[in-house]
Amino acid sequence: MATTNISVGSQVWVEDSEKAWIDAEVLEIDGNKVKARTSTGKVAVSLISNVHAKDTDAQPGGVDDMTKLAYLHEPGLLHNLASRYELDEIYTYTGNILIAVNPFAKLPHLYDVHMMEQYRGAPLGELSPHVFAVADSAYRAMVNENRSQSILVSGESGAGKTETTKLIMQYLAYMGGRAATDGRTVEQQVLESNPLLEAFGNAKTVRNDNSSRFGKFVEIQFDRSGRISGAAVRTYLLERSRVVQVSDPERNYHCFYQLCASPEDVERYKLGEAHTFHYLNQSNCYELNGVNSSREYTKTRRAMEIVGISPDEQEAIFRVVASILHLGNIEFVPGKETDSSKPKDEKANFHLQVAADLLKCDAKGLQDSLCTRIITTRDESIKVSLDPTSATVNRDTLAKTIYSRLFDWLVEKVNKSIGQDPDSTTLVGVLDIYGFESFKTNR
Ligand SMILES: Nc1ncnc2c1ncn2[C@@H]1O[C@H](COP(=O)(O)OP(=O)(O)OP(=O)(O)O)[C@@H](O)[C@H]1O
């Protein structure tokens, strides 16, 4: 109960618009209202249900396991994490859950081989909290109990899930890696496929310039002796709406900007600058700080080569990406009949024709599929015209569907290239999935 231990003179936490919570001393209690003087000298009046007792005996550097805290309320937990963060202690346990606070700085000493060696076989909680300890405990449990294990990595955008997932894989590779006999190891291949999935599945959001817009379950498969024998990447919930709708200052998926930064492909696919495309120009952000799109494009192509995507397949992939940009520029106006539609003007017709060429289909057929809908009854199929608004929705749905199928195809390619072990009996799975986000409009 929030009201326990609160009386005049007690040390408490009260809500603060700037710092979230601030420490204060209670001056007066009047019914359900508490008047308190904050440590910055302000007088704050709060509802008693929103005032929390402060642990005056708390250690200045915080505790490494929050179950040791006297009070397990929000300000207590946040204060503990903040005290540790001040000392560069980014990891804290709550029982066997690890909380990581993003350092936004490279901390190489935390992740070197020496560190991995220290955590090898150490019971969880014996050493300072660390992501390696969690990975180690999963690996041990798998080996000792001969049962598959999963690690869930969750948090809001930019919290550090992807980095954490990579560190877990790095540790598992260290524990169960075998010498690379025929070139690259399984774990190397999983890591090498990252730039490819990132080009198609990551985008700039308000919080994170390289935000993964899909959930990922990485399975690291092991043989009976605890050695890595295969791996697979399963993806979930790609944010399809981003393909057709972007709000400022975010961006669409990286691959679109990369393609527009390649003069050769711009010519080949009759593209233009990024700002000329509806699917990109709904936001004013085209560039990322410190990132050169044309260099990134080369990296994506390189990652495709590594994964074993042939030059012909690569050409097909970018043809599809370009066709989506063209699709987005097909605007509609009302047609002759009521509630019908047709491409708006010459420009719209040009994009329709190019999109059809790139998708290797007939332009008239594509127009038909955008401007009409087939209704199937028990006895017959009826073709119904669509008004411009419905045709636009139809166009966007097609773009989203093509893109998400392309993404799934790429994931399948990656998995084929990494190789699964059909005989593997146990695996460690790492689920990297974004939690719920609160947008102005939830789509
Ligand atoms: N342990 C860490 N050490 C150093 N930097 C980190 C660490 N974790 C995260 N970062 C930094 O924070 C950035 C964002 O992290 P990351 O991409 O892992 O977030 P995320 O939770 O996967 O976000 P999203 O859901 O948007 O994909 C990284 O690019 C990196 O710069």
What is the number of other CB atoms lying within 10 angstroms of the CB of residue 326?
Answer: 24
pLDDT at 215: 93
Active site residue 426: no
Q: Taking Cα atoms as reference points, which of 113, 146, 111, 147 lies closest to residue 130?
A: 111
Active site residue 157: yes
Q: Cα separation of 297 and 442, whole Å?
A: 31
pLDDT at 442: 56
Q: Which residues have CB under 8 Å from 397's CB, separation 6+? A: none
Which ligand 1 atom sits nearest the alpha carbon of residue 210? Answer: 17
Binned at pLDDT 50, 70 and 90, residue 437 comes out as low
pLDDT digits (tens, 9 = 90+) for 185-198: 777 788 888 899 99
Q: Taking residues 298-308, report their average pLDDT.
A: 92
How far does the centroid of ligand 1 lie from the alpha carbon of residue 163, in Å? 5
Ligand 1 pocket test, candidate residues 90, 102, 291, most atoms within 8 A of CB: 102
Whether 2 has a pLDDT exceeding 50, the answer reads: no
Whether 436 has a pLDDT exceeding 60, the answer reads: no
What is the number of other CB atoms lying within 10 angstroms of the CB of residue 180?
Answer: 11
**Category of 376 on φ-ψ map: left (φ > 0), alpha (ψ -120 to 50) or beta:** beta
Characterize the bridge pairing of strands 426-434 and 97-100.
Answer: unpaired
Active site residue 83: no
Q: Cα separation of 283 and 248, whole Å?
A: 4
Q: Which stretch, 211-220, 320-329, 430-439, has highest mean pLDDT?
A: 320-329
Q: Cα separation of 358 and 259, whole Å?
A: 14
The ipTM is 0.98
- Mean pLDDT of the residues in the chain: 93
Which ligand 1 atom sits nearest the alpha carbon of residue 163? Answer: 18
Find out whether the peptide bond into 334 is cis, omega within 30 degrees of 0. no
pLDDT at 434: 74
CB distance 65 to 42 below 8 Å:
no
Q: Angle between the 311-328 and 346-358 helix axes, to the nearest 10 degrees?
A: 160
How far does the centroid of ligand 1 lie from the alpha carbon of residue 165, in Å? 10
pLDDT digits (tens, 9 = 90+) for 100-157: 999 999 999 999 999 999 999 999 999 999 999 999 999 999 999 999 999 999 998 8
pLDDT digits (tens, 9 = 90+) for 348-400: 999 999 999 999 999 999 999 999 999 998 989 999 999 999 999 999 999 99
pLDDT above 70 covers a percentage of the chain that reads 96
Q: Angle between the 388-418 and 363-371 helix axes, to the nearest 10 degrees?
A: 110
- Domains 11-53 and 66-241+423-434 alike in fold: no
Whether 302 has a pLDDT exceeding 60, the answer reads: yes
Q: Cα separation of 52 and 140, whole Å?
A: 40
Active site residue 331: no
pLDDT digits (tens, 9 = 90+) for 152-179: 999 988 899 999 999 999 999 899 876 5
Tokens matching residue 310: 């042939």
Q: Taking Cα atoms as reference points, which of 319, 324, 317, 318 lies closest to residue 244?
A: 324
How far does the centroid of ligand 1 lie from the alpha carbon of residue 160, in Å? 3
With b for 16 or more beta-carbon neighbours within 10 A and e for fewer, the 253-277 pattern comes to bbbbbbbbbbeebbeebbbeebeeb
How far does the centroid of ligand 1 lie from the alpha carbon of residue 345, in Å? 45
Active site residue 212: yes
Domain formed by 264-418, architecture: Up-down Bundle (1.20)
- Residues contacting ligand 1 via CB (< 6 Å): 102-104, 106-107, 155, 157-163, 205, 208, 210-212, 434
Binned at pLDDT 50, 70 and 90, residue 439 comes out as low
Which ligand 1 atom sits nearest the alpha carbon of residue 100? Answer: 1
Whether 1 has a pLDDT exceeding 80, the answer reads: no
Q: How many CA atoms lie within 13 A of 319 on its CB side?
A: 13
Fill in the amino acid letter for 89: E
Ranges of each domain in the chain: 11-53, 66-241+423-434, 264-418
Task: Please pick, among 211, 300, 392, 394, the residue that the annotation labels catalytic.
Answer: 211
Question: Global pTM?
Answer: 0.87
pLDDT at 178: 64
Whether 37 has a pLDDT exceeding 90, the answer reads: yes
Q: Taking residues 284-302, report their average pLDDT.
A: 95
**11-53 maps to which CATH number?**
2.30.30.700
- Which CATH homologous superfamily contains domain 66-241+423-434? Kinesin motor domain (3.40.850.10)
Q: Cα separation of 9 and 427, whole Å?
A: 55
What H or E segment, with its residue span, contains residue 392? helix 388-418
